[in-house]
Structures are given as C-alpha cells and as structure tokens.
Structure 1
Amino acid sequence: MSDLLPCIEIETAPNPQAAVIWLHGLGADGNDFASVVPQLDLTGCLPIRFVFPSAPSMPVTINGGYVMPAWYDIAAPDLTHQQDIKGIQKSASAIAALIEREIQKGIPSNKIVLAGFSQGCAMALYIGLSFPQPLAGIIALSGYLPLAEKFLSFRNKANFNTPIFMAHGVWDPVVIPKRGEDSHALLKQHSYQVNWQTYPMEHSVHPTELADISLFLQEVLSLA
C-alpha cells in the first residue's frame, strides 16, 4: 500500500479548513458512509473535507477466506484472539498517509478528525491514539480498540487529550457491546476524554447517533 488509498471526497464548502477521514467496516468501501454527510448538522463548523477511503481486498479468515475489502484479517469471532498485528499496522500506515496528505494541503493536524465504523472504528482508535501529532477528535462507532494489551506501548502523548466520541448498539451481535465497553473502560482508566453513548440498535447507525456526532463535530471543528 505504498500508493494512497482510493478515496471519495466531499467538501462542505470551498477551501476546506478541516478534514474528517471516515473509515468503513469489513466488506464495505468508501461509498458506505458518504451518504451520511448531508444528514449531519454542521452548523458553526469550519468548512470540512470529508475523505472516505476504501480498504484493499484480502482473504478474511472468519468468513472462510472469502476475499473482501478489509483493513486487516479477523481470525476469531470474539475479535481478540490471534489479532492481525501486521495487517493492522500496514493499514495504519496507509491511513496515516491520508492524514499527512491533508496536512500537506494546509489543514493542521488539530483540525483533522478520524472516524470509523466497526473494523474502521478499530483502525480509527489505533491510529488516532498512536498518531504523533495532535488530532481534533476521534469518532469510534460500533467497534473496539485492537491490540488493547499493547495499548501502553503504541499510544502517543500527542493525543492524550484528544476528545473521543464512542458509540455502540446495545443489541450489536457483530461487535458485542462488551468489546466496546472494555475499550471505553481502558481509555477512561488512563484518563482519556471519552464521550460514551449507547443506542437501541444492532450493528448499524441510529438517527440520534448522527445528531450526537453532529454535536461532537460542532465542538471539535468549531469556527470559534
């Protein structure tokens, strides 16, 4: 993945002064969340460039080796055994390159939000907490922190104070609520600023959740 990942880009106004890089879940692509942008209330936000990258395709063990878009391989249903460290790190490098591209375009790191759903949530947390420059925020939806047992070794002090919005469906059968709850508890234990919310849904996105994401973006990417 030496070349930049293919992306869909949506700008809320000319000359964006902020960016949101939004990572899809397993088996999806960059189109998956592009339709969310018009549903967000971005009143009072800086002009934003939304970037929706697509993961490369690879065999996924939990799905019988079927080739599909994935940020890394998943070997076990509980998501915590035999984690694909090399795959996570490889995708992290590719996504970090997109952050660096936004910085090169003139958007400072502290005006960049990293968002993700499910497997994309895992990547958003991993990259956001380890990135060596401060980010504006992390949006972590229906996912978990991968490689949690190595968390203290890969986290970076640049993002110790970065606001984090974490959300999970109370009936999620794909990433069970305990995965998200455990990740939230670990971050709170180490004094991260986490806004934790749950919604009456399975593995999806709830209208109230979109309203809460809007408020989070209004806070971390405010014109003020």
Structure 2
Amino acid sequence: MLDTIERETGPSPRHSVIWLHGLGADGNDFVPILPELVRPAWPPLRFVFPNAPVRPVTINNGVPMRAWYDIREADLANRADEAGVAASVEQVEALIAREGERGVPASRIFLAGFSQGGAIALAAGLRRREPLAGLIALSTYIPAAHKAAEVLAEGASAQPVFMGHGSQDPVVPFHAGEQSQALLRELGFNVDWHAYPMPHSVCMEEIRDLGDWLSRRLAGA
C-alpha cells in the first residue's frame, strides 16, 4: 500500500478524492489548494494524497525521483513505460479498495491527478468495471492512447471526466490534452474540457471550474 497524506473536511466522510501528484513531486503537492477548492455546502470528504514510488527516470538522466512510471522519451506515443503504468494502476486500485473497506464505495470516489498522476487516473479509469464518481485529469494525456479502445472496460464510460490544460504547456503539449479528451468522447465518456492561458500548472480559474464540476456531482449526496 502506498504511503499517503490524508485530509478530511468533516466527520465520517462518505466521499473520497484520491489525488495523484506529478513527476518529482509528492503527496503534499496539492494539499494547499483545498481551502480554495472545498465549498461549505459539500458533504464531508476524505482527500487521499499518495506518494508515488521513487524510481530512476530515463529522460532525467536516470535520476531517481517520485514517479508513477518511467519517462523514456519526449514523444507522447512512447513516453510512458507500460509496465510502470500498469503497476501504478494496480496501486491505485488498492487505494480504491481501501476506501471501500472504510465505507466509501466506488460510486462515491473521485480519482484525480496532475500530469503523470493524471495519466494514471485516466489509465485506471479506462479499466474500471465498477465506475467511480468521476475522473479529474489536469495537464495530462492518455498513456498508450492507441490501445485505449482495447483496454476499455464495460461500463467505464459512465464515469464523468473533468479535464483542464494550459494552452502554453511546454511539458505536456496542449494538443495532447485536446486529443485525449476527443478520444475519451469517442469512447463514450462525458468530458468537461477546459483550456486556460497558463503553462504546466494549475490556476485559480481552473480550481473554480473544478469546484463547480464537483458541486454538481455532490449535490444532494
């Protein structure tokens, strides 16, 4: 089981958000946005911020760092090592199962991620036979997109998706996010797609839009 940082917005949370950080960061990375994201009308939530394993990253001269998978080259088609993606998806599934043991079923779990973490969120979402409450993918892309249709599980497309991407992103090109959201729509997903004038980062407008999206899914919950 991955080491995690957790924050609860109220007693006995019945909903969870599992949030995966980007390359070289750790579980603390997105904790600071919670005061800006969480709204008073929402039910109590448990936010789970796991730490990715430390591994050598080829594109960074083999330097070990927290990473959900090795990045072998800049080309998106071959960027992610598939074995690393599969291993991280399995670790995320273990976190989802643990939330179930704590009384939060899949239907009340959101899986979120930024950059590498978002790629794992989408990879896991494609394979989910029991739909989650939603997928949140920020500044990211679908790894091994050419295989997305063959790994798509029955019922997976019932999961709503929020995607946001910076139009000036030099790390994961904007067109990669656009192509990924278009592919998800082709596969039957309902994608709420947002573009922002920013680099490889998040912005207040994006947090606000994500809050609106979550509010619609938590209404009456």
What is the TM-score with the length of structure 2 in the denominator? 0.97
Measure the CA separation in 1 of the matches of 2:140 and 2:184. 14
Give the CA deviation at 1:80: 1.8
Residue number among 166, 169, 187 corresponding to 1:169 in the alignment: 166
Q: Is the counterpart of residue 42 in structure 1 residue 35 in structure 2?
A: no
- Structure 1 stretches (4+) deviating beyond 3 angstroms? none
Aligned counterparts of 1:53 and 1:61: Cα–Cα separation in 2: 22
What is the aligned residue count? 221
Aligned partner of 2:5 among 8, 19, 32: 8
Secondary structure at the residue paired with 1:174? coil
1:110 maps to 107
**Higher alpha-carbon deviation: 116-125 or 42-51:** 42-51
1:82, CA displacement in angstroms?
5.6
Is 1:206 the counterpart of 2:213? The answer is no
Query: Aligned equivalents of 1:213 and 1:82: distance in 2?
Result: 27
Gaps of 5+ in 2: none
Q: Which amino acid aligns with 1:37?
A: L
Read off the aligned partner of 2:53 and give its amino acid letter.
P
Contact 1:136/1:221, CA 8 A, preserved across alignment: no
Structure 1 SS opposite 2:136: strand
Contact 2:78–2:144 (Cα < 8 Å) also in 1: no
Instruction: Give the counterpart of 1:100 among 97, 100, 109.
Output: 97
Aligned equivalent of 1:137, options 124, 134, 146: 134
Identity of aligned residues (%): 49
What is the RMSD computed on CA atoms of the aligned residues?
1.1
CA distance in 2, matches of 1:66, 1:28: 14
1:1-224 correspondence runs (5 A): 4-81=1-78, 83-224=80-221
- Checking the alignment, whether the CA contact within 8 Å between 1:44 and 1:223 is kept in structure 2 is no
Structure 1 position 155, deviation (Å): 1.4
- Aligned-partner residue type, residue 123 of structure 1: I
Which residue identity does 2:125 align to in structure 1?
A: G
Structure 1: gaps (5+ residues): none
Q: 2:38 and 2:46 mapped to 1: Cα distance? A: 15
**Cα shift at 1:223:** 3.0
